[in-house]
Amino acid sequence: MVLLQRPHILLLLIDTHQFLQCWIAFGSANEEGQQQEEFSEELLVKPLPDHKLLAHFHFQSSAPPSTSNGCHHHLFPKAISQLVQKFRVKEMELSFTQGRWNYESWGGFDPISSSNAKPPGVELWAVFDVPQHHIDASWKNLTHTLSGLFCASINFLESTATYSTPEWSFPPASGNVRYGTFPCEAVCTENLTPWLRLLPCRDKAGIALLLDRPSLYRGFYHSQRLHLTSTESSSEGIDSGIILEQTLTVVLQPNSERAIEVHASEKHVQPSWSLSSIFGKQVSGRCVLAKSSSVYLLLDWGLVAELKFPNKENGKSAANGLTSENFWSNPSFELSVNPDRIFLEESSSHSKSLSILYMFQVEKYSESEPFDIGLMWKVPVAWLCQQTPLHASRFFMGSGNERGAIAISLKSTQFTEGFMSANSKDGSCELRVDVFQVVPWYVKVYFHSLRVFVDQQPRAVSDFIEKIHVSPSKDKMSPGVMEVVLKLPCRVNTAALTIEFDKGFLRIDEYPPDANQGFDIPSAIISFPNFHASMVFLEDDSLNRSPLLSKFQEKCPVMSYTEVLLVPLTTPDFSMPYNVSTIKCTVFALYFGSLLNVLQRRVAEEERFLKAKAAKKTGRLPLLLSKLSAKLRGSGINQD
């Protein structure tokens, strides 16, 4: 029994090795085969090159597959497990984002940015475990459920014109995936509160205590994400193990009010910060329900290279003896709390330097002695984050209300140039770029007009596009989807894709209330499947592996999102219906008036009358005058 269950539990809980072993040890005692529900909370703080600070909260709850529990849970949020059971969601990710991730200065090549940098607004994708013809129905129900759950207008993704079915370019490549974005959703605290409600301690204890709303929403980037994976158990699939991963990524400016004062002299010194100065709160102990509760401070390898640790040359040896004092008593900065542990990055694709991770255990602290780390910079330091191989940007070309073109331009970042050349000793190295682009139906894209420019030369499309999948849009039915696999030479400097479109016309009732703002075109996803962002940290024991660190070890392809575009469409005069009905009424009145006039007229009588008149006719003008006067006097003359 135990042996039978083991493989899929392993699958389910890769992260919780230690617990698994414990469970195996006590397996005989636990006759039911019950795996306990787990929760862990972690926070990662990382200084960014442009004087900002990245804070990445990572909460993970997991529920084991169990039949006996039924629908009862100890820690795991019931709403989510019900949702998973009802719609048979295999994997799902929902993100609410405000602001833009700055790929140039905040990097795009590390696990944090490639999985947590999201397009503005709402993004939702889900993989369903239902037959093909039920997927759309499940998706619609899911959007409505989530919309209710998170107080957001996710339900607008219900309409077939807003979501799409990526075939192969979207990472969880599978036919059952649905993808939709809603860029104009305004994200605020009413979306955060339901998200926090899924945590066992809410924001009343533990690391989540730091989530002070004003300081969060003052930040430059704010993205809350909910990722769940369910692994189905072998028996009939009624119950499943679910891993719910909730992350909140914020980019904040430490003590911004001081930055204004210290203007000229200390401009290049990174601002010093502490958790209490950023969030205005301190952590007083862990959430008691959490299995692990820790705070990490990550120093980027670029930063580490700049810092010049005294024992840099024997870094490897220091990694073995992790107690080396040198890592936190550095001449360039000072930590207010001694870290409990230091991890060195195991190996990286770049040989220059290794990232360093400081770990702080929150368990040790309590109400009386709250946890608060601070970092004090002593000397100015400047470094760069590692960027994506190509920096992607997307923009509109052309002007006017009739047509235009979308251009996606890719530029090689100077950061990766050396990296590329190191990788490709032989000249024939290729860089694979996947582009996934969804355009709403009212932007009528002509896919035949796709053109490729490489290094400022127009090139044949077939030379560089290895694979392309296009599903044209149907008016008011489905958006246009384009998936392209580009194979570019490694030494490419610039590349650009352009595609032309016509602007469509909408019916008057299809315009949103603020139609004159324009219409959003969701971000395109540019991914580099050959590159994987992962960080493997040396750990002395693999027992207490934290979910966050094991998340970092996963090989996820480097991904970046382009800007959301705003396309101005022609808008009608919205008072038009009124004008039309007015004109229509006038026309009807004229028509029926003249019709009645004709119907009641006696032609013969009139002619006789005219003849009599003509007999005593004197001139044209008097005749006109008399007629006019008759007209003025009314219809009296007709009666006599």
Partner 1 sequence: MAETKEKSLSDEKPKPRVRPIVRLGIFLISHSFHVSVVCCTAGVLALFLLPVLAKNTYISENALMPGSASPMLSNQHVSDGNRLVKDLTNPNSKSSETGIESHKIIAQYMLDLGAEVSFHKFHPQMNQFHPLHFFSSPDSGKIQENYSCSSYGINTVGIIRAPHGDGKEAIVLVTPYNALKSGFGEALSLGIAYSVFSLLTQVTWLAKDIIWLVADSQYGEYAAVAAWLREYQTPKFSSLSTPNAEMCPDVNNLFELKGHSISGSKFSNSFRRAGTMASALVLKVRDQNEQFEDTISIYAEASNGQMPNLDLINVVNYLAVHRQGLRVNVEKLWSLLNSSWLKSLGEIFESLAKVAKSLYPKWKFGIPATEYVEGTATLASSLYYQALGVPTGPHGAFRDYQVDAITLEISPKFSLDKVWRNDILLRGGRLIEGVIRSVNNLLEKFHQSFFLYLLTSPSKFVSVGVYMIAFAFLIAPLPMVAASLYVDANSSSNCSKGDSSTPSAITDTDEHSIAIRSWRWLNSAKLVFIVHLWGAIVSLLPYFISQIPDCSPTTSFMIWVLLSILSLLTLNSVLASPLACAKATQEKEWALVKSVTISSVFIGLGLMSVINFATAEIGALLMVPMCLLAQPLKLDVRAGTLRSFCRMICNLVLGHIAFPPAALFLLKGMLDGFGNANVGDFWMWVESLWAWNSATYLFIGMVQLPCWVLCISILFHTC
Q: Which is nearer to partner 1, 22 or 590 (CB)?
A: 590
Cβ proximity to partner 1: between 119 and 339 the closer is 119
Q: Parallel, antiparallel, or unpaired: how do β-strands 292-299 and 38-47 relate?
A: parallel
Helix (H, G, I), strand (E, B) or coil at 268: coil
| Sole binder of partner 1 in the list 453, 468, 529, 534 (CB under 8 A) | 453
Out of 606, 625, 626, 629, the only residue in the binding site for partner 1 (CB under 8 A) is 606
Chain residues 394-423 in contact with partner 1, contact rule CB under 8 A: 395-401, 407, 409, 411
Q: Which of 3, 71, 260, 460 binds partner 1 (CB under 8 A)?
A: 260
Eight-class DSSP state of 571: -
Nearer to partner 1, 241 or 254 (CB): 254
Element (H, E) at 196: helix 189-197
DSSP symbol at 291? S
Token pair for 561: 């999102």
332 makes contact with partner 1 (CB under 8 A): no
- Asked if 353 touches partner 1 (CB under 8 A), the answer is no
Q: How far apart are CA 514 and CA 442, in angstroms?
A: 16
Site string for partner 1, 476-505 (x = CB under 8 A): ------------------x-x-x-------
Does residue 425 touch partner 1 according to CB under 8 A? no
Residue 504: helix, strand or coil by DSSP? coil
Binding-residue pattern over the window 567 to 586 for partner 1, x denoting contact by CB under 8 A: xx--x---------------
- The yes or no reply on residue 379 touching partner 1 (CB under 8 A) is no
Site string for partner 1, 207-246 (x = CB under 8 A): -----------xxx--------------------------
Count of CB atoms situated within 10 Å of the CB of 400: 9
Tell me the Cα Rg of the chain.
Answer: 34
Nearer to partner 1, 507 or 620 (CB): 620
Do the beta carbons of residue 167 and residue 468 sit within 8 Å?
Answer: no
Order of all β-strands in the sheet with 457-459: 390-397, 403-412, 494-503, 443-454, 457-459
511 touching partner 1, by CB under 8 A: no
Q: Which of 294, 293, 289, 291 is nearest to 75 (CA)?
A: 289
Burial 542-580 (b: 16+ CB within 10 A, else e): eebbbbbbbbbeeebbbbbbbbbbebbbeeeeeeeeeee
Closest distance of CB 449 from partner 1, Å: 14
SS3 of the chain: helix, strand, coil, percent, to 5: 30, 30, 40
Q: Total residues contacting partner 1 (rule CB under 8 A)?
A: 61
* Site track for partner 1 across 271-310, x = CB under 8 A: ----------------------------------------
**Candidate list 517, 581, 626, 638; residue touching partner 1; CB under 8 A:** 517
Structure tokens at 605: 């009588």
Per-residue mark of binding to partner 1, 98-137 (x: CB under 8 A)? xxx-x-xx--------------xx----------------
Displacement of CA 637 from its chain's centroid (Å)? 81
Which residue is listed with tokens 């339901």? 194
Asked if 607 is part of the footprint of partner 1 (rule: CB under 8 A), the reply reads yes
List residues near partner 1 by CB under 8 A: 49-50, 98-100, 102, 104-105, 120-121, 183, 218-220, 256, 260, 267, 382, 384, 393, 395-401, 407, 409, 411, 453, 456-458, 494, 496, 498, 514-518, 520, 563-568, 571, 603, 606-607, 610-611, 613-614, 620, 624, 627, 631
